[in-house]
Structure 1
């Protein structure tokens, strides 16, 4: 298993191409060997001159050592663990080797030449054999949007028998001008994606790896859902959680992704600064910060949370429910506002709730003590949710099967009866403005439906009439003259002249 990375010194550059060795923390003048749990990794430099430097990472895989220590109770125990193509074709084993042997470069660190970590280099990467069951075009689809020029050549099943056709292996050559850390991150994520399988058992930690090494490029990649599914080997639960987190990140910049995933208390600090009027976070910020803010408009996720925050605040609510709170992004924003005395987040996913709870614990004590998160299903009535001033269903209803939507309506509007309910959902008419979204396709693989503005209005008016709520509508995000805004929001306000009968149905008071 082999990968070579070549760096050519740009014209006029003062540094030699052999400075690649500083970035990789591997001396070009000698060969190095690294023991791995599945074999041995060798690092050597076939070429090292001032104008061009090439490093090779060669893996010698021991199939027996690879499965040593596993027993028949492990989920992936099979004869296939011993007889397979891993010693010969780039796969997740090579990704693991990149992270262990070139770990400092992958994370963008270089103590001796720190300026090089941010310098785009003229790179050429060659992989003699990569499993790619979708064919060469899939290599083009995943690497080309990242700035690579891709040459993917199919390998014959057997050169002695050309009539047998091509195998599902390709030779890949990538050329481009990128930071070395970005190039290694692309290999780390996309080699297992092309293969479609991994040599180890997956758990929820794989989602964190995907988001960490996909920071800055995965959220905007046109094939991000396909990449996510393949990277997580189609484990449905993991894929859904990963896509939900990517959707939440929306158009976030790389530094925002790092803050959300690696240090959630940064979110809390920003929200606290807004709530307390911190001059550095408000209009008193310096000119550089203002210019950067103007250049990059807020993402739709940020605009959506801000709109919901304003709508809930306008109702005068103090006790608020966030129904379908996910990982707690809205909870953090509400917690920073002293107008809300009690905030409860409800979600059916324990994994999402654990992340939300961890983020809440990192809040300042005056915010965290007002927030509670717990599990609950929104299609079942819960007496403990009754009597709150306001409830939020932010990007929730489209994830509910149409046959279960009436149950959600009864549980929220009929049983919980909050004083106000704020609902947001995608505007399907706006989908034509998204490049790469096929006609009739949904924005998210878990959406059960996406409504037009008329369909959402019909639903909202029916629910309001049935349960005694007046309703008004607001667009969220920039408004297109023809198709409206990307997100539509309805604000329900409860009429005082309604009471609940013993069947849970709403009726007008006599």
Structure 2
């Protein structure tokens, strides 16, 4: 089982710093199913390639009976030693853990820099669908070449091989490229070698939370990754903030409660209309889910989407169809790269600013900067904040005690903590606030999401 990752960037050998693996060394890592080897077939300033070779121990596989369910000799006769699978994903996570996390103490200037990358995985299961690999990787921005040859050239009657020779080309950070492989290779394989439990939901949200919710093959990926466990799929959907819970094949269709992300947008829109806001800044707009609904209502005459992430803004432009948008709609929209913790004069003058699921992503010691930016500098008539209600977390079946809904959350407030923060803001900047709820209110733990509506200088 084998894959290579190649950088063709200037000073391409810097790839070694990002991967925390020196190009001059061959390293080996013991895994429960064998040994992972890392080495560099080439390393120059023009081109640098790292190879991951997973040497599978068939005895360990058979001893664990991880693939013995299909037929009597399945534990002994299988494609695990050569086909890219969950085994390879586990090796990626073990060997390149720091690189996947986007950390590089030796060269922090390299972190987050997109590089021209090439990935080669010689044997990827494709379910007999030659276009499947492309449908999974192309929406993420990869150019895909997936060649499928005959299973045995000497026996044409056997047909095509069920494995594709896959080459991916694109410009990504190394961390993003590794996470794409980590999530999608096991989904393509469809047969994880370990027990799928609630922790798998956390892994998906942590590794793919930025892109999986909007992936056109999301439902298929979720079902395959979570062993068709509907309760896990539903929990992942909720935490990814997508619009519907996918049905599992052969399962009766049942009415679903509208997901919290949809309810949240509806509540925010209702508050904006009630405040008679014509110009709105969605600060921390992400990939534009709220922007789409603001643009659909002509009463919002000026719509600004601001986010610190250039990638998120690019995705927002793609999702909104900016290049195909009618001129009258396009004239109402502005996309800005901006931070919630730094003054930006372009955000001033709006009737309302929305911070929808944003404050919990800001380090607690940076909250005063956010408050100054929004309530002191931009100073709109209305500010709408939504943030998770920490008390409600006990209602999520796969969320372990003491953990938060998303790995990027710096904190999650109880209702009392949220209202205490709001009261402090009002005292400092001359606003009043009203607390509300998003989602059904549980009699014991309250709503899943807190709503805080601030009004400048008047009773809310």
Q: Deviations over 1:173-200 (max 9, x none)?
A: 0011111111000000000111112110
Compute the displacement of 1:282 (Å). Answer: 3.5
* SS state at 1:213 partner: helix
Change (3 A) 1:365 1:75: farther
Aligned partner of 1:5 in structure 2 is 5
Aligned partner of 1:267 in structure 2 is 360
CA distance in 2, matches of 1:32, 1:346: 42
- Decide whether the 8 Å contact of 2:33 with 2:56 is kept in 1: yes
Select which of 140, 146, 164 maps to 2:134: 140
Compute the displacement of 1:116 (Å). Answer: 1.4
TM normalised by structure 2 equals 0.59
- Decide whether the 8 Å contact of 2:115 with 2:171 is kept in 1: yes
2:444 paired with 1:394? no
The gaps in structure 2 that reach 5 residues or longer are 242-259, 263-284, 288-306, 313-356, 421-434, 448-460
Select which of 55, 59, 65 maps to 1:60: 55
2:184 paired with 1:194? no
* SS state at 1:86 partner: coil
Compute the displacement of 1:162 (Å). Answer: 1.8
CA distance in 2, matches of 1:353, 1:395: 22
Q: Deviations over 1:313-336 (max 9, x none)?
A: xxxxxxxxxxxxxxxx6646xxxx
Compute the displacement of 1:25 (Å). Answer: 1.3
Select which of 100, 106, 112 maps to 2:100: 106
Q: How does 1:15-94 map to 2 (within 5 A)?
A: 16-66=11-61, 68=63, 79-94=73-88
Q: How does 1:486-501 map to 2 (within 5 A)?
A: none
- The structure having more radius of gyration, on CA atoms, is 1
TM normalised by structure 1 equals 0.53
CA distance in 2, matches of 1:50, 1:180: 17
Aligned partner of 1:377 in structure 2 is none
* SS state at 2:195 partner: coil
Q: Deviations over 1:108-132 (max 9, x none)?
A: 1111111212211111111110111
- Decide whether the 8 Å contact of 1:265 with 1:363 is kept in 2: no
Q: Deviations over 1:427-446 (max 9, x none)?
A: xxxxxxxxxxxxxxxxxxxx
Compute the displacement of 1:394 (Å). Answer: 3.2
CA-atom RMSD in angstroms: 4.5
Select which of 153, 171, 174 maps to 1:159: 153
2:372 paired with 1:280? yes
Equivalences, count:
321
Change (3 A) 1:105 1:365: same
Aligned partner of 1:467 in structure 2 is none
CA distance in 2, matches of 1:147, 1:121: 13
- Decide whether the 8 Å contact of 1:63 with 1:83 is kept in 2: no
CA distance in 2, matches of 1:4, 1:269: 36
- Decide whether the 8 Å contact of 1:122 with 1:178 is kept in 2: yes
* SS state at 1:283 partner: helix
